[in-house]
Structure 1
Amino acid sequence: MERPEQHPDHVEQIQAAWRRERPDLDVSPLAVIGRLHRLAARLTAELTLVYQRYGLGEGEFDVLAALRRAGAPYERAPGELAAHTMVTTGAMTKRIDRLERAGLVARRPAEDDRRGRVVALTDAGLRLIDEAFTAHLRNEHRLLGHLSPEEAAALQHLLTAWQSRLDGSTDTGRNA
């Protein structure tokens, strides 16, 4: 699927302005990074619309999904949840508090460590995440439907390779 070359898109306009202002710099990375940044914002907006239909924010959806992925009995320690959703334990506590007030999760003492706690899906939480995740996947299929299966597979391969290389890199760009 090629984009018609009628008018430059927003990223091309930004690149053109930088080329004019700083012809000494290679602004070609903006073509990829700029578009990925804009696409990520657009995808987040499209995804959160589905979460909102179920009364969830992105963070709450992530917690419920992490608990559901754990398998029966659908529970994890708060620290595990934080690691699985890549947020701080403080942010996780706030998410769990909101979900507990909504009756979607329950806290209980850990069986192997009385000082520890476990967060588990309630029956209502399990029903909600199953419905919300089904709708979420429908939405993701819709969004990927703008690509051919071959394009989606190629993009998955490229993004996986890029992420793997970045994750394995010790150069974070801080010295640049």
Structure 2
Amino acid sequence: MASEPREEPDHVGRIMAQWAVERPEVDVSPQGVIGRLHRLAVRLDEELRPVFAAAGLSDGDFDVLAALRRAGAPYELTPGQIARTTMVTSGAVTKRLDRLQGAGLVLRQTREDDGRGRRVRLTDRGRELVDETFERHMANERRLVGLLDEPDRRELARLLEAWGRALDA
């Protein structure tokens, strides 16, 4: 009876094997998760960015437009709300908003009830662009997660959510 050919270790597996030789007393098993997640995040970015680029956007630009679109009509938020929703600094939000306003995708407006406060609103053109891009983005993400079968996708999503909640606690 012939045995199945053994699969070669991946990049992270090779690194772990090298550490096992050089520092056998150190448990490197966390690299099996963290290292692979890090490499996967880089690869996923490489797969996701072309969809945004085809729309003339960076991933950060799309993130801002998507935050405004998800807010519902009238599709507006304060810069602070955008920063919290996108998890970037207010300085990064300002730069993104400058680009998006220059492209005619958002408007900055002074709040009527507070002359100091600003609101950012999607323009009709911005809403159309984010809606079109979102559909292509979701199709691309379906393609990527489709490399796993449905039970594995559900279990991975469950595990990642549990880990994220534990880190946030």
TM-score by length of 1: 0.92
Corresponding residue for 2:54?
53
What amino acid maps onto 2:150 in structure 1?
P
State the shift of 1:113 in Å. Answer: 1.2
Corresponding residue for 2:78?
77
What amino acid maps onto 1:155 in structure 2?
L
Q: Alignment partner of 1:27: what SS? A: coil
Runs of at least 5 residues in structure 2 that lack an aligned partner in the other structure: none
What amino acid maps onto 1:58 in structure 2?
D
Q: Alignment partner of 1:120: what SS? A: strand
Which structure 2 residues correspond to residues 83-98 of structure 1 after superposition, within 5 A? 83-98=84-99
Q: Alignment partner of 1:20: what SS? A: helix
Corresponding residue for 1:174?
none
What amino acid maps onto 2:62 in structure 1?
F
Distance 1:9 1:151 in 2: 19
Change (3 A) 1:6 1:84: same
Distance 1:153 1:78 in 2: 34
Q: Alignment partner of 1:115: what SS? A: strand
What amino acid maps onto 1:101 in structure 2?
G
Which structure 2 residues correspond to residues 20-59 of structure 1 after superposition, within 5 A? 20-59=21-60
Corresponding residue for 1:154?
155
Which structure 2 residues correspond to residues 82-161 of structure 1 after superposition, within 5 A? 82-161=83-162
Distance 2:93 2:140 in 1: 26
Superposed CA deviations along residues 15-69 of structure 1, whole A, max 9, x for unmatched, are 0111111011011111111110000111111111110010000110000000000
What amino acid maps onto 2:70 in structure 1?
R
Distance 1:112 1:58 in 2: 33
State the shift of 1:110 in Å. Answer: 1.1
Q: Alignment partner of 1:161: what SS? A: helix
Corresponding residue for 2:17?
16
Q: Alignment partner of 1:117: what SS? A: strand
Distance 2:149 2:7 in 1: 22
Runs of at least 5 residues in structure 1 that lack an aligned partner in the other structure: 169-176
Corresponding residue for 2:165?
164
Q: Alignment partner of 1:55: what SS? A: coil
TM-score by length of 2: 0.95
Stretches (4+) displaced over 3 A: none
Distance 1:46 1:101 in 2: 27
Superposed CA deviations along residues 91-147 of structure 1, whole A, max 9, x for unmatched, are 100000000000000111112211111110001000000000000000010001001
Q: Alignment partner of 1:37: what SS? A: helix
Distance 1:97 1:5 in 2: 53
State the shift of 1:156 in Å. Answer: 0.6
Distance 2:107 2:56 in 1: 18
Q: Alignment partner of 2:115: what SS? A: coil
Q: Alignment partner of 2:27: what SS? A: coil
